[in-house]
Structure 1
Amino acid sequence: MALVRDDLEACNRLIVENMQSEVALIPQLAAHIVAAGGKRLRPLLTLAAARMAGYRGDRHVGLAACVEFIHTATLLHDDVVDESALRRGQASANALFGNKPSVLVGDFLFARAFLLMVRDGSLEVLRILSQASAVIAEGEVLQLVIQNDTSSTEEAYLQVIEGKTAALFAAATEVGAVVAGCDAARQAALRAYGHNLGVAFQLVDDALDYSAEQERLGKTVGDDFREGKITLPVLLAFARGDEAERGFWRRTIEDKDQEGADLGTAIALMQKHRAFADTVARARDYGAKALAALDAFPDGAEKRALAGTVEFCISRAR
């Protein structure tokens, strides 16, 4: 953040400017989620990737804002779908303002994102970010399809997180390469970095849902469990369990018949079968792929920061 502070401040100004509307509820609701304490990780990736690739203009600032608008719009929609009461430790927008305003303001932010893409004027940027938006939606719908189904495969789970999380990470870094005029190989390298970082990030998030670290990070433990989400820790514990344990997962995840002590039982089963540790190990494998992709670029402050971001994302699961 220190490395791209001026760019990030310009990006934040652009975000505030573009979430304004004569309809007062729109900036009010948008400001609630935009100011809710997020790390701005995705726009930071765009800013740092462009600088690492040698870009010295200001197009990356508008695209970083665009990436954040896409992300924020998906958060608003996700919280409605998941019926979430909290977002980053605070009341979610849908809990405060209702589902209908949250969905519609999410639509508004998506529209603002596309306006920023058009202002940039690059058809390649428009292709990358519009494709990412479609893939994110596909990932969210697939998650609904496999939700509560313990017979789901790891392949289907990975397809979900590659869509709902990794697609925007990949697009965020790839557009940095585009504005910097990178050749096809370096553009692909930055896309690979973002994609693998995004998968690692989501794997850690899914592990943290069953970890005490979640409380330290200001989030509620067990949200995924209560919603019956199929994540890698659940799939690993289910596959490695005996028939009685599988019956527990079918009751709590498939039937959503949950009792007060069930979350503790779920966590104990994950610890017994190393589901948490192996999910984090899988995240480290993807993190290593992200680091390898940076080999296409010369050493420098931005490259070291992007490498450090990989460890930051994974080290949340301590």
Structure 2
Amino acid sequence: MQAIKTSRIHEIPLNDQSNIKLFIKREDELHPFISGNKFRKLKYNLIEAKRLKKNTILSFGGAYSNHIAAVAYASKNNGFKSIGIIRGEELGNKIESNPTLQFAKSCDMEFHFVTRASYRDKTKQWFIDELENRHGDFYLVPEGGTNQLAIKGCEEILIPSDNNYDYICTCVGTGGTISGLINASDVRQKILGFTALKGDFLKEDIRKFAQQKNWELITEYHFGGYGKIKPELITFINRIKADFDIPLDPIYTGKMMYGIFDLIEKGYFPEEAKILVIHTGGLQGIAGMNLRLKQKKLPLIKE
């Protein structure tokens, strides 16, 4: 993987009377195919796989998984074979109509489609043993990429000059990115995680990795749950792109930014607060979502 450059930060101008300053860190620009937090999460895992002399990377994901796309490309680019355990047995016949799976296939990823019921057992040892019997030796990267090495990579998102911000905002899927940000933050900073899933069950997972207590999960902006979307979210994403030339995805960053703007309007942040938003990437998922939106005859997300 290419050497990481410092992500650019630019201000999003606000028409706000409280003098709140909003900035965005464009981690999505780190790499065209392994963008944002996926680049960070895979960095040390690939180093470890090479150290262990593994030849194959195996991981898990759904039909439009940013993680699966990143694993496929990063594996091929670094001399590994890759295997994707994909949630949804029926998807085996729909590869050509799925942009994410098409891309992963173009990177020579081998697919193993499993039922949704079986997929829930993916962390159980007997399930992993069965995968080893079928596929042979591999280096396992968890769903979403979150493990201790991933958190080490995500700790590198923040650099010393980022201590100037009062709030650091990120999306939350499996908890790895926010854990890295918590560990790398100054204790006086507040880390806000905007969940893409219903509920706050991720708190326990985050506590396993987070070394500080200066964080909070914001759970009100999931728009119905993971992968769910509503017309007002599409309108917001398209407005941000038109007004500021910032692309957002509908699963993670779009919902987070919607939440941040809503909280600013509601007076959640104190006067003169400086907020840094981490753009975690995920833009490859827009194409798949637009296919779904087209089927539902809803407005499309502008790419």
Same fold (TM over 0.5): no
* Structure number having the greater strand percentage: 2
